A = this chain, B = another copy of it.
Amino acid sequence: MSMATVSIRQLVLGLLAQEPMSGYDIRRYLKSLNWLVGSPSFGSLYPTLRALLQDGLVTVDIVLRSDRPACKIYQVTQEGERALQELLDKPAAADPSLETFVKRLVLAANLSPSRLVADLEERRAQVSAYCDSLDRIAASLDGQNEPERRLAIDFGLAMARAETAWIDEALGRLSQQTAMESRTRSGGSAYAERRASRTPGDSAKNTPRRRT
């Protein structure tokens, strides 16, 4: 049933897993990536956070500050982590849209290295196939002199080629990196380190702490 489209809920959960934040922070962060992923409005962001809270996937910390208004810092629970991994581990694609791919890239820090590589390889194959199909369309348009009709196709081809090139480079970097890591045991995967340093249930959740 549920397709691999990354919803706001999943995106928010993933971002919170990378770093505890407030709704406002999430919005600001996504806005800074602007063109990559459309940042959700508060009208969907805040209800999403409430839902995550009610489902026990996150907890809140109300932080009072003297200099500016109080804010609610959300933090994922163990259950939230589990739910996130379940989402990210599944097939990944089936939805060949750029949006979904980019959103998963934004959540790359939450992906296991193998899953990340698999994502990139899947995407490479999809884009490559897409490139071929656009080539065929372009060829069929070769006869008629209608430059405007070709523009979109041309653009698609250029972007698709740029994307495959980038993916190849990224895959190269990743394999090189993991090779380095297997030799020297330092400066390695943030994923592995995060996994290792998890200390769940350490602090008193839901207890507002004050910095006055």
Binding site for B on A (CB under 8 A): 18, 32-36, 38, 96-98, 102, 105-106, 108-109, 111, 116, 126-127, 130, 133, 137, 145-149, 151-156, 158-163, 165-166, 170, 173-174, 177, 187, 189-191
**A34-B130 in contact (CB<8A):** yes
Residues of B within 8 A of A177 (CB): 147
Residue contacts A-B, CB under 8 angstroms, 6 given: A32-B137, A105-B152, A105-B155, A147-B174, A158-B165, A159-B166
Nearest opposing residue in chain B for A29, CB measure: B137
Q: Given A105-B151, A148-B116, check contact A156 B33 (CB 8 Å).
A: yes
Nearest opposing residue in chain B for A113, CB measure: B148
Residues of B within 8 A of A32 (CB): 133, 137
User: Which 4 residue pairs are nearest across A and B when measured between Cβ atoms?
Assistant: A162-B162, A109-B148, A108-B148, A158-B166
**B190-A149 in contact (CB<8A):** yes
Closest Cβ of chain B: how far from A130's Cβ, in Å? 5
Nearest opposing residue in chain B for A35, CB measure: B130
Name A146's contact: one of B109, B160, B170 (CB within 8 Å): B109
Residues of B within 8 A of A165 (CB): 158
Nearest opposing residue in chain B for A19, CB measure: B149
Residues of B within 8 A of A159 (CB): 159, 162-163, 166
**A155-B102 in contact (CB<8A):** yes
A148, B110: Cα distance in complex, Å: 9
Q: Given A109-B146, A145-B187, A146-B109, check contact A35 B160 (CB 8 Å).
A: yes
Closest Cβ of chain B: how far from A164's Cβ, in Å? 11
Residues of B within 8 A of A33 (CB): 152-153, 156
